Amino acid sequence: MIRVAALALSSLLAGCDATRSDAVHARVEFVASGSRARLTDLSLIVGGDKVGWPELAPGESKRANLLPGLRDDRQPILLYRQGDEKRVWEGPAMPAGAGYRIVIRIEADGTASARHCLSPCSLE
């Protein structure tokens, strides 16, 4: 019985493994130096996986590892607020099943851009 439970748990945890080759490794940066503005209600969505943060201060960055389904759309979508304005950024389309790294950079005026590469790779 214990062995069956251990196997079930290891199978469940395998689905949460950010080291999988199809994982999406993301970093969101707010590069508004000298600004007092904050970004709020951030949500990063890739396929069926989503992560969120309540706020991002100028000069701050957040990281996330997302695990969309193997057949899910891989295009990253970032939703956020800058003051009272809702913003939506749609990233590049990616091949189904592909893992990648992406750095999303948000400027003081709220515009976003990104650098990305298919895994294995590095953007550091």
The structural domains of the chain, with segments of one domain joined by +, span 18-118
Residues 6+ apart with CB under 8 A from 74: 24, 46, 47, 68, 93, 94, 95, 96, 97, 98, 100
pLDDT at 34: 74
Q: What is the pLDDT of residues 71-120, one digit of tens each?
A: 778 899 999 999 999 999 999 988 888 889 999 999 999 999 999 988 88
Report the alpha-carbon distance of residue 120 to residue 86 in Å, rounded. 34
Q: Does 14 or 73 have the greater pLDDT score?
A: 73
Q: Does 10 or 74 have the greater pLDDT score?
A: 74
pLDDT at 74: 85
Range in 36-40, 52-56, 67-71 the model is least confident about: 67-71
> What is the fold of 18-118?
Immunoglobulin-like (2.60.40)
Report the alpha-carbon distance of residue 98 to residue 66 in Å, rounded. 12
Contacts 24+ apart (CB under 8 A), 11-19: 15/67, 16/67, 17/67, 18/65, 18/67
pLDDT at 73: 82
Asked whether residue 8 carries a pLDDT value surpassing 60, the answer given is: no
- Mean pLDDT throughout 26-49? 90
Asked whether residue 42 carries a pLDDT value surpassing 80, the answer given is: yes
Cβ atoms of 106 and 28 within 8 Å: the answer is yes
Strand order in the sheet with 112-118: 61-66, 24-30, 100-106, 112-118
